[in-house]
Amino acid sequence: MHPTTDNRPNLLLAMGPGVADRLLTEAHRTRLAELARTDPHLVAHDLTAPDPRTAAALAEAEILLTCWGATPLTADVLARAPRLRAVVHAAGSVKHHVTDACWQRGLRVTSAAGANALPVAEYTLAAILFAGKRVLRSAQRYADTRTDDAWLTESAPWGNYRRTIGIIGASRIGRRVVELLRPFDFEILLYDPYVTTPPPGTELVDLDSLCARSTVISVHAPQLPSTHGMIGAPQLAAMPDGTTLINTARGSLVDEEALLPHLVSGRLHAILDVTDPELPPPDSPLWTLPNVLLTPHVAGSLGNELHRMADQALEEVARYGRGEAFAEEVRASDLTRSA
């Protein structure tokens, strides 16, 4: 029971159809009802034309708890939410729904980008280690030949001992990858134009040097106009034969038209969780090339990993209710160089 004077903030869930059922367990919904005045089973899918029940909840909401598929919070939507003070986003980037109108209104914003960074970093670590061992190639070759005759000679240049790893972007994910790589015998190069002091155990270099020196390169830069196609023909040409390019950021950061000839020839390898377009055309060589591992944007939170984002979001709701600052506050200025 709550005291007669109930100071809990009013809260409304706002996200795409089916998302709340994957994001929130019943335990999450129970805790949410303890932290805020809300119907934890009422989810607003479209705030531009809400039904009467949703419209009433939006009019009273002090917090919107959002996730993937949330309605963009335009001035028209915000006009229906006169009491709104905060947006708690239970996912990564807020750029898809937090508009300039939100900042002009002075809304406080937080996201679970930190919780979403961990599975991406874990995927990247696995990809780096598998790339060094040439797991994709060896598995395919093993299935084709069903012998082990050639491995001792063919695997001579393989392995993960003192391999040079290039990390592009000291983002939240990029920094987490660096942390996960520390126990291994790697030389770690980092490129990020905004970093002046590199994390311990890394060498700060320019992009061209990173591409020329690394045998595994992982992309963790944000999608910005300045990063579009940042891995282009010159950078790809500079990569040593046999280099593996890993992209878990955004497909637009890599010039795929320039990349494809290097992949078709077998000179480079790639592990791509994102592409441009997001779904490659049916006739794209990426589907069938033996030196390409193509996954459908699964590096980020998936399955029960969504519950980690829900945990972080509910902690932020609790902080708001106690009158504390958000632990992972997002500011408008952050979005000029973040995803």
Using one digit for the tens of pLDDT, what is the confidence trace for 103-141? 999 999 999 999 999 999 999 999 999 999 988 888 887
State the pLDDT at residue 335.
84
For all residues of the chain together, what is the average pLDDT? 94
pTM recorded for the entire structure: 0.91
Question: Which residue bears the tokens 């399955």?
Answer: 303
Helix (H) or strand (E) holding 64: strand 63-66
Packing angle between helix 26-35 and helix 306-321, nearest 10 degrees? Answer: 10
> Could you tell me the sign of the dihedral formed by the alpha carbons of 54, 57, 60, 66, in that order?
negative
State the pLDDT at residue 115.
96
- The catalytically annotated residue of 105, 108, 297, 308 is 297
State the pLDDT at residue 135.
87
Tokens of 234: 């010159």
Tokens of 287: 């589907």
* Annotation says 328 is catalytic: no
Give dist(CA 99, CA 26) in Å, integer. Answer: 31
State the pLDDT at residue 152.
62
Q: Are 136 and 293 in contact (CB under 8 A)?
A: yes
> Could you tell me the sign of the dihedral formed by the alpha carbons of 252, 171, 109, 13, in that order?
positive
- The catalytically annotated residue of 89, 172, 175, 250 is 250
pLDDT at 215 over 90: yes
Question: Which residue bears the tokens 């592409």?
Answer: 275
* Annotation says 297 is catalytic: yes
The 3-class secondary structure across 14-60, one letter per residue, is ECCCCHHHHHCCHHHHHHHHHHCECCCCCEECCCCCCCHHHHHHHHH
Tokens of 290: 């033996």
Using one digit for the tens of pLDDT, what is the confidence trace for 52-99? 999 999 999 999 999 999 999 999 999 999 999 999 999 999 999 999
Q: Which residues, at least 6 apart from 199, have a Cβ–Cβ distance to it below 8 Å?
A: 170, 175, 178, 179, 190
Instruction: Kindly indicate the confidence band of residue 146, based on its pLDDT and cuts at 50, 70 and 90.
Output: confident
Q: Are 167 and 189 in contact (CB under 8 A)?
A: yes
Q: Are 37 and 11 in contact (CB under 8 A)?
A: yes
- For the chain, how long is the longest CA-to-CA vector? 78
pLDDT at 3 over 80: no
Instruction: Kindly indicate the confidence band of residue 149, based on its pLDDT and cuts at 50, 70 and 90.
Output: low
pLDDT at 206 over 60: yes
State the pLDDT at residue 5.
67
State the pLDDT at residue 33.
96
How many other CB atoms are found less than 10 A from the CB of residue 206? 11
Using one digit for the tens of pLDDT, what is the confidence trace for 5-14? 689 999 999 9
Give dist(CA 37, CA 128) in Å, integer. Answer: 46
Instruction: Kindly indicate the confidence band of residue 307, based on its pLDDT and cuts at 50, 70 and 90.
Output: very high
Burial class (CB in 10 A: 0-12, 13-18, 19+), 8: middle
Going across the sheet that includes 86-89, the strands are 43-44, 11-14, 63-66, 86-89, 108-111, 329-330
Using one digit for the tens of pLDDT, what is the confidence trace for 256-266? 999 999 999 99
Give dist(CA 4, CA 8) in Å, integer. Answer: 11
Question: Which residue bears the tokens 């939100």?
Answer: 102
State the pLDDT at residue 178.
97
The DSSP code for 285 is: G
pLDDT at 153 over 70: no
Query: What is the pLDDT averaged over residues 238-253?
Result: 97
State the pLDDT at residue 132.
93
| pLDDT more than 90, % of the chain | 88
| pLDDT more than 70, % of the chain | 96
* Annotation says 250 is catalytic: yes
